[in-house]
Structure 1
Amino acid sequence: MAGKDLDEITGGEVSGWAHVVQSINRLFSTPKNTRVFLREFGSDLPNLVDVPSNDAGILALFVAVATALEQWEPRFSLSSLSVSQVGPGKILLNLVGTYVPRGHQGDTTPEGETQTLSVPVAGL
């Protein structure tokens, strides 16, 4: 998940922070065991759709987010996470962290200011 990719909306090229945002959205929306040649890829977020929005459900959500990012997106170092309800059955994940452009190469040098990312998720 490094370098350049196709923008899922425009079909053009996407790189840098925009590529990280696209990759995180793809990661959170892909259930584990659904990609044929990379079964481990994805997160447990899609499985949490019907989890109650109590403390245990929110904790499971936080664990799913942190675990997926740790395993699959080394270019984003998560420092805080919050959840807000935006409608019936819809939540917004608010991630704050540091962009690490060469994290996939083992270089943990951050670039720029703290980044904030909001990801809509169905469920809870």
Structure 2
Amino acid sequence: MSSAGMDRETGRLIHNFDHVAQSIGDVLTTGIGQRAVREWYGFPGLAMLGENMNHDNLVKFFQIVAIALSMRQKNGLPVEPRFRVIKIVPLEALRSGEFACRLEGEYLPRGHLGDFTPAGKRRVVLSGSGSRFTAVEEAESIG
């Protein structure tokens, strides 16, 4: 069983890893406590907005990204159970506050059903400025 959802921009149906990438972006643009029933859903890194973009803060930010995507909910599943972060690679960090990084990890297509069998590695490019992030699958998957 694949996962499906609605594209937030077009309203069209999206499937599989496209839905996972959109979900990652959603998690990382939602503040902790913004969802009434899902109190553990969201990204505590939004509290870092306005801090200096230096090496220490970038490392802390990337750690919080990994934690936010793997944090367990009351049902025992990670916030995003279909993607397991393995590595975060910084791509760009500008003085203007814009940044980009690549999330490398395993795609777990049935993770939302509790089956964590990987179906290959995937890359998601996370880019943003301020509290607005976009997450899109990198064109080429990794072996």
TM-score past 0.5 threshold: yes
* CA pair 10-87 structure 1, distance change in 2 beyond 3 A: farther
Compared with structure 1, are the counterparts of its residues 53 and 98 closer, same or farther at alpha carbon in structure 2 (3 Å cutoff)?
Answer: same
2:53 and 2:97 in contact (8 A); partners too: no
Once the two structures are TM-superposed, the CA of residue 69 in structure 1 deviates from its matched residue by 0.9
Distance in 1, Cα, partners of 2:127 & 2:11: 22
Residue 26 of structure 2 is matched in structure 1 by 26
The equivalent position to 1:77 in structure 2, one of 79, 84, 109, is 84
User: Structure 1 residues 86, 117: CA separation in 2 closer, same or farther (over 3 Å shift)?
Assistant: farther
- Residue pairs, 1:104-115, within 5 angstroms: 104-112=112-120, 114-115=121-122
Number of residues of Structure 1 aligned to a counterpart in Structure 2: 121
- What is the RMSD computed on CA atoms of the aligned residues? 1.8
Structure 2 match to 1:102: 110
* Identical counterparts, % of pairs: 29
Q: CA deviation at 1:5?
A: 1.3
Question: Normalising by the residue count of structure 2, what TM-score does the alignment of the two structures yield?
Answer: 0.76
Consecutive unaligned residues of structure 1, counting only runs of 5 or more, are none
Does the 8 Å CA contact 2:53/2:93 hold for their aligned counterparts? no
- Which residue number corresponds to residue 122 of structure 1? 129
1:51 is aligned to 51
On the 8 A contact 1:94/1:117 being kept in 2, the answer is yes
Q: Deviations over 1:22-80 (max 9, x none)?
A: 00000001111112332321011222222222333123212211111102111111111
Query: How big is the shift at 1:90?
Result: 0.7
- 1:12 is aligned to 12
Q: Which runs of 4+ in 1 moved over 6 A?
A: none
Assess, with a 3 A threshold, how the Cα gap between structure 1 residues 74 and 106 changes in structure 2: closer, same or farther.
same
Task: Please say if 1:41 is aligned against 2:48.
Answer: no
TM-score normalised by length of structure 1: 0.86
Structure 1 CA distance for aligned equivalents of residues 115 and 38 of structure 2: 24
